Amino acid sequence: MKNKIILLSGILLMLSSAASAQESIEKVLRAIENNNTELSALRNRVEAEKLGNKTGIYPENPVAELGYLYGSPAAIGNKTNVIFKQSFDFPTAYRYKNQISDIKNVQAEIQYQAQLKSLMLETSLICNELIYSNSLLNEFSRRQKHATDIANSYKMKYEQGEANVIEYNKAQLNLLNIRAELESLEIKKSALLADLTRLNGGISIEFEESSFKLTEIPADFEQWYLTAENNNPQLIWLKQELELSKQQVKLNTSMGLPKIQVGYMSEKVTNEQFRGATLGLSIPLWENKNAVKYAKAHALAIESMEVDNKLQIYNQLLSLHQKATGLQKNVDDYRSSLLLFDNSELLLKALDAGEISLIEYILELSLYYESFDTLLELERDLNKTVIELNRFM
């Protein structure tokens, strides 16, 4: 009865500690968002890209020319020419250039948010593995204490001639295996904590949670998906890219219209001087040939990509939703069955009464241990799936 109470208490503790686990994970996520060096570098790059997107959208620089020509014969005097001129694209081109630069700046921010979400996903998955490792560490610590008691008991029995060498060795090997598993789990935990430290800009993070957070699986997938789609950086970026391509079509059309050049010109020869305005007009024959056709083809390609990406992401999330729902049912059923069919108390009574050998006890107990480990694996896989499902929320 004692073991069953311990098992029930452990499962209830896991459920009651879920909120605490969520708070711990959120704390880690906030720390890494503030300290991650890659994210900081990307933030600086985004700001630089924003400035870069605002270059090249203004009129060309004005041009000033000065000519001083020596006359021959000298009697006719020298000539002085002064020219100021300014070229302009067709007026609508500047509006489209500015709109395109704004869209590119939005895309730069979207790329930053996409990297942030990717980083948060990676961190959450590491935390999920740490919770699993901590759960196993706690469980194997209990198993080690139990195995130590058994090993010490059979050592005394062996020394008193009440147990044979095979039983003595089996008890010691059982303890040895559990200790080895504990050491392996400690190594795995250290590696996971090192990953968190790397993501946190080299600042170490302690994470001792051993209970999985509450899993929230959306009941109405279609309604939930609409929100996920609107929060998906990849789809948001493609929407902006499609709008960008449409603006590019308009810009290329404007760039195919005549350019205007206005200026001022002064010419001075001996006692004569001429001043006046100049007006020039470019003839768009070859420079932007096929530019509009290319922009329209590119816009069509982006539109096709958007449709394909929506379909791919929808099916991917639908698959994750179905997987999470199935895993949730498995976890609930398995947890109930494990409580119902726990034989650990009966096995211990049978061992104490001499009805089964130590070897039989350890073999039967290992089946229960495997079942409990399977429950933890299912909970880990369920939470991993839910994390991946909700990564855009």
How would DSSP label each residue in 99-164? HHHHHHHHHHHHHHHHHHHHHHHHHHHHHHHHHHHHHHHHHHHHHHHHHHHHHHHHHHHHHTTSS-
Whether the CB-CB separation of 235 and 310 falls below 8 Å is answered with: yes
- Of the candidates 24, 130, 206, 51, the one whose C-alpha atom is nearest the C-alpha of residue 380 is 130
pLDDT for res 321: 94
- Of the candidates 367, 347, 373, 363, the one whose C-alpha atom is nearest the C-alpha of residue 170 is 363
Whether the CB-CB separation of 237 and 107 falls below 8 Å is answered with: yes
Domains of the chain: 2-63+91-259+287-389 (1.20.1600.10)
Four-residue CA torsion sign, 187, 190, 194, 195 = positive
Peptide bond connecting 62 to the previous residue in cis, omega within 30 degrees of 0: no
Longest dimension (CA), the chain: 138
Distance CA 334, CA 327 (A): 10
Distance CA 174, CA 385 (A): 34
- Of the candidates 96, 54, 93, 64, the one whose C-alpha atom is nearest the C-alpha of residue 282 is 93
pLDDT for res 254: 83
pLDDT for res 189: 96
Distance CA 322, CA 313 (A): 14
Distances (CA, A) of 82 to 67, 70, 270, 275: 6, 15, 15, 9
- Got the DSSP string for 239-304? HHHHHHHHHHHHHHHHHTSPPEEEEEEEEEETTEEEEEEEEEE---SSTTTTHHHHHHHHHHHHHH
How far is Cα of residue 314 from the mean position of the Cα atoms in its chain?
Answer: 18
Radius of gyration, CA atoms only, the chain: 37
- Of the candidates 124, 297, 97, 257, the one whose C-alpha atom is nearest the C-alpha of residue 196 is 124
- Looking at residue 218, the DSSP 8-state letter turns out to be -
Q: How many CB atoms lie within 10 A of CB 224?
A: 17
Whether the CB-CB separation of 193 and 130 falls below 8 Å is answered with: yes
Distance CA 282, CA 371 (A): 81
pLDDT for res 355: 80
Global pTM? Answer: 0.84
Strand, helix or coil for residue 338? helix
pLDDT for res 17: 52
How far is Cα of residue 85 from the mean position of the Cα atoms in its chain?
Answer: 52
Whether the CB-CB separation of 278 and 265 falls below 8 Å is answered with: yes
**Residues in Cβ contact with 272 at an 8 Å cutoff, skipping those fewer than 6 apart:** none
Low-confidence ranges of the chain (pLDDT < 50): 1-9, 11, 13-16
pLDDT for res 7: 47
**Sheet strands side by side (includes 260-269):** 63-69, 79-88, 260-269, 272-281
How far is Cα of residue 316 from the mean position of the Cα atoms in its chain?
Answer: 16
At 127, list the tokens: 């935390």
Distance CA 190, CA 387 (A): 22
pLDDT for res 18: 55
| Residue listed under structure tokens 């449409």 | 246
pLDDT for res 320: 93
| Residue listed under structure tokens 């709109």 | 99
| Residue listed under structure tokens 């711990």 | 24
